[in-house]
Structure 1
Amino acid sequence: MNNLLIEAIGNKKNQDIYILGKGSTIDEISLNALEDNIVINTNDTELLLPGNICVFHHGWVLDVLEQKGPQANLYISDRSVTGATSSILAEYIPNNPDNSEFLLNRFHSSDIHIESSVLITALKVANLLAKELGQKKNVYLLGFDFTVKTGFTDQMPIHMNENESEYVEKTLKSQEHLLEMLLSEPEKLDISIKHVGVRPYSSFTVEAFNKLFNTLSYEDTTVLNSNVKDKFSVKVIAEITTNHFGDRERLRSMIIASKQAGADYIKLQKRDVDTFYTKEKLDSEYRSPFGNTFRDYRHGIELSYDDFVFVDEFCKSIGIGWFASVLDYPSYLFMKQFDPEMVKLPSTISEHTEFLEVVAKDFKKDVVISTGFTHPEYESFILETFKNVRNVYLLQCTSAYPTANEATQLGVIRHYYNISREHANIIPGFSSHDIGSLCSMMAVAAGARMIEKHVKFGDVSWSHFDEVAVDLVNGDYAKVVSDIRIAEKIVGSETKEVHSTEHHKYWVSK
């Protein structure tokens, strides 16, 4: 059986897997771009794009196949397909409470069953492929909206009567529940399931997926690296935090999008999960694509050593800087392996003075420090403790997400600017938690020489600081960067000089 699966995918053994459904969101995706990847059709979605493997149960699919002729390399069904190149006949398991309890056991067995939700069977096939190939496969679910309310694809007929909508809605919700059961145990899977849509567990919006797919095929990094722009004095930071969701491909796309938007650096986070949080916090319930506890979630979104090696090499290849917030001593030691030019000590750990003092004594390059939720005493502590550090980017910050414009306290930036006249290693900046770009532009006028803003990749509901983060996909972040650069040009130099455009003057005759 596994040999038939391998034969069906041909020379695509190293490619990602895409499973196609018929929800309306699939109409927003350019399916032809998927042809070089492994495609698994459910029911009659080969009318959208003929794939390598088709999984179905309903008899009406045979009618479609009879009209069009079988196009997949392999059919998996409880029904015989006339004219199929290859097929696997599997037992159909109807949906009832007793069978649902054993679904996960069936999923992890070596046998293929046709589940009441053919999506689950398609995922089982993907999991068997990954296991047979010895590769952790990315599996993207396209067109699985799990509701009739948003409609279905316009590209093919839908086999549903109007009076069946309530029944179909319940069926779709049942299928979604089965999917969530699988998502709750990611450590048991040989695949990484990435739903594309607007569900609470979605990894990508359709818009973000389209951008992701474009950047996955982007190999000419020299084009980005050679994109020479005007020289600016304000360092603009794309604060990714953990909005890569632990997914290297998503992270790669976010780095490219940040570079294209004009950012000078991307910033990540590092914390030692098992020591940073209490056991009670780690054991607490938390629903995410990584499991059902807060521990599952935090471990799921942390980057590994290999991930940071990738970040270091990739950022160098396209000409963008990177650094990370370090929230504890183990994370600081971890980041030192990469010989960073700067590290960030965020506002959230301002009370951890012993750790801050250790960094101040040990690290001699640049340190970025936000001052959210702190009093002037913290400023004095920083000035005294970090006086031997090469540069301290002292960032005014208000720890509210989002921050109202009137709460940004941009006058503090001017205060830090004045301090920098007396302390040569102090550089004023702004950590923006407000909405839009107005405050960032005003921060430049107040003297900020570093501005960081949270970014996300599509409007995914469980993004870190979702309301504050600016979308890299729809052009919002590029607009913020552009506005910051405009503000720099407006502010200009502190040295008064005659501008070339000046012309109105009453000269004194000699």
Structure 2
Amino acid sequence: MTQNATTDLSVSAPVPVAIGDLLVGPGQPTYVIGEIGINHNGDVDIARRLIEVAAEAGCHAVKFQKRTPEICVPEEQQGKIRQTPWGEMTYLEYKRRVEFGRDEYAEIAKLCDAYGLQWFASPWDVPSVEFLESFDVVAHKVASASVTDHELLRALAATGKPIILSTGMSTLEEIDAAVDLLDRRKLVIMHSTSTYPMPEEEANLRTITTLRERYGVPVGYSGHERGLQISLAAVTLGAVAVERHITLDRTMWGSDHAASLEPAGLQHLVRDIRVIEKALGDGVKRVFPGEEEPRRRLRRTTT
């Protein structure tokens, strides 16, 4: 643990983090991320349609995943045979099949710019960080699986970009070590539970408060549940960002579709987040204009 130990109870209150031209943190609109991830199934046309879905729903950003398959697929898994929609192939061949390269990301960047959407990805290895930096992404996302990959975290910190750190399947001690490698002034932590789909009893939303008080940085929520209620409850507990997987159809082939939101669900999520933001108010007790007439008509004052 460094001298700026993450368990220090004197951490300051969170201040917003600049991601591109947006601020993410207390007092700002909830930053909504539509995670496309690998739900494009290696098809740039599906990615294009999901970007359009995110833009129409009012998301601020879309997020992908970027891997170097030869690094990320364990050697003992590479030759295993997998049944896929494109026929029988090795696991390494499958991971190559669904991985986007430079041409696809160039198209993604162009389309996101046209829609006014930010985009970034979760790099799973150092060469993928370098790849994403070549597109000058506005931020980098650390997947929950990478919280203990300190080589990757150091490479991400060296970019100087804002970092969004998911914390699923992590202990506080593992998060402490990760945070100590990153610049807290450019850090947003996401409470998350890495069960797909996630049952409500594993949501543990009060951890949002725990993380905010422990690290003194903005804290959001990355959800893998079915439905909207838990993500909306996270906003009422102070989540400054909400990330949800999105799909064209939850029955599509692939590991993440079942825990994703379809277009209508995403639209409802963003709509309801904006309603909640208005309803939360500022905490100052006052008599509102709509109460004035009932107050005159109904209020009794006695001594």
Q: Distance in 1 between matches of 2:237 and 2:54?
A: 25
2:192 corresponds, among 397, 400, 413, to 397
Shift in Å, 1:297:
1.4
The answer (yes or no) to whether the contact 1:233–1:449 under 8 Å persists in 2 is: yes
Q: Distance in 1 between matches of 2:254 and 2:282?
A: 38
What secondary structure does 2:249 align onto?
A: coil
Shift in Å, 1:294:
1.2
1:448 and 2:244 correspond = no
Shift in Å, 1:359:
2.0
1:483 and 2:272 correspond = yes
Which amino acid in the other structure matches residue 466 of structure 1?
A: H
What secondary structure does 2:83 align onto?
A: strand
Per-residue displacement from partner, 1:352-375 (whole Å, max 9, x unpaired)? 123213322x02221011111111
Q: Distance in 2 between matches of 1:382 and 1:351?
A: 7
Which amino acid in the other structure matches residue 37 of structure 2?
A: T
1:269 corresponds, among 56, 65, 77, to 65
Q: Indicate how the Cα distance of structure 1 residues 318 and 491 shifts in structure 2: closer, same or farther if over 3 A, else same.
A: same
Q: Indicate how the Cα distance of structure 1 residues 502 and 419 shifts in structure 2: closer, same or farther if over 3 A, else same.
A: farther
Which residue of structure 2 aligns with residue 17 of structure 1?
Answer: none
Q: TM-score of the superposition, structure 1-length normalised?
A: 0.50
Q: Distance in 1 between matches of 2:143 and 2:234?
A: 19
Per-residue displacement from partner, 1:79-135 (whole Å, max 9, x unpaired)? xxxxxxxxxxxxxxxxxxxxxxxxxxxxxxxxxxxxxxxxxxxxxxxxxxxxxxxxx
Shift in Å, 1:389:
5.0
Which residue of structure 2 aligns with residue 327 of structure 1?
Answer: 124
Structure 1 residue runs of 5 or longer lacking an equivalent are 1-230
Which amino acid in the other structure matches residue 500 of structure 1?
A: P
Which residue of structure 2 aligns with residue 370 of structure 1?
Answer: 166
Which residue of structure 2 aligns with residue 417 of structure 1?
Answer: 212
Q: Distance in 2 between matches of 1:370 and 1:446?
A: 17
Q: TM-score of the superposition, structure 2-length normalised?
A: 0.82
Which residue of structure 2 aligns with residue 296 of structure 1?
Answer: 93
Per-residue displacement from partner, 1:322-367 (whole Å, max 9, x unpaired)? 110111111111111111111101101122123213322x022210
What secondary structure does 1:467 align onto?
A: helix
Which residue of structure 2 aligns with residue 99 of structure 1?
Answer: none
Superposed, 1:26-425 pairs within 5 Å as 233-291=29-87, 292-360=89-157, 362-386=158-182, 388=183, 390-419=185-214, 423=216
What secondary structure does 2:289 align onto?
A: coil
Q: Indicate how the Cα distance of structure 1 residues 309 and 498 shifts in structure 2: closer, same or farther if over 3 A, else same.
A: farther
Q: Distance in 2 between matches of 1:374 and 1:278?
A: 21
The answer (yes or no) to whether the contact 2:191–2:220 under 8 Å persists in 1 is: yes
Q: Distance in 2 between matches of 1:501 and 1:364?
A: 49
The answer (yes or no) to whether the contact 2:123–2:140 under 8 Å persists in 1 is: yes
The answer (yes or no) to whether the contact 2:124–2:146 under 8 Å persists in 1 is: yes
Q: Distance in 2 between matches of 1:296 and 1:383?
A: 35
Which residue of structure 2 aligns with residue 471 of structure 1?
Answer: 262
Which residue of structure 1 aligns with residue 12 of structure 2?
Answer: none
**Identity between Structure 1 and Structure 2 (%):** 28
Structure 2 residue runs of 5 or longer lacking an equivalent are 1-26
The answer (yes or no) to whether the contact 2:161–2:186 under 8 Å persists in 1 is: yes
Per-residue displacement from partner, 1:13-48 (whole Å, max 9, x unpaired)? xxxxxxxxxxxxxxxxxxxxxxxxxxxxxxxxxxxx
The answer (yes or no) to whether the contact 1:456–1:463 under 8 Å persists in 2 is: no
Which amino acid in the other structure matches residue 368 of structure 1?
A: I
What secondary structure does 1:351 align onto?
A: coil
Count of equivalent residues: 271
Q: In terms of mean alpha carbon deviation, does 476-485 or 297-306 score higher?
A: 476-485
Per-residue displacement from partner, 1:213-237 (whole Å, max 9, x unpaired)? xxxxxxxxxxxxxxxxxx9610111
What secondary structure does 1:316 align onto?
A: helix
What secondary structure does 1:267 align onto?
A: strand
Shift in Å, 1:288:
1.4
The answer (yes or no) to whether the contact 2:112–2:118 under 8 Å persists in 1 is: yes
What secondary structure does 1:435 align onto?
A: coil
The answer (yes or no) to whether the contact 2:77–2:91 under 8 Å persists in 1 is: yes
What secondary structure does 1:502 align onto?
A: helix
Q: Distance in 2 between matches of 1:471 and 1:377?
A: 35
The answer (yes or no) to whether the contact 2:147–2:175 under 8 Å persists in 1 is: no
Shift in Å, 1:455:
1.0
Q: Indicate how the Cα distance of structure 1 residues 459 and 415 shifts in structure 2: closer, same or farther if over 3 A, else same.
A: closer
Q: Distance in 1 between matches of 2:162 and 2:286?
A: 33
RMSD: 2.2
Shift in Å, 1:498:
4.8
Q: Distance in 2 between matches of 1:376 and 1:461?
A: 35
The answer (yes or no) to whether the contact 1:240–1:266 under 8 Å persists in 2 is: yes
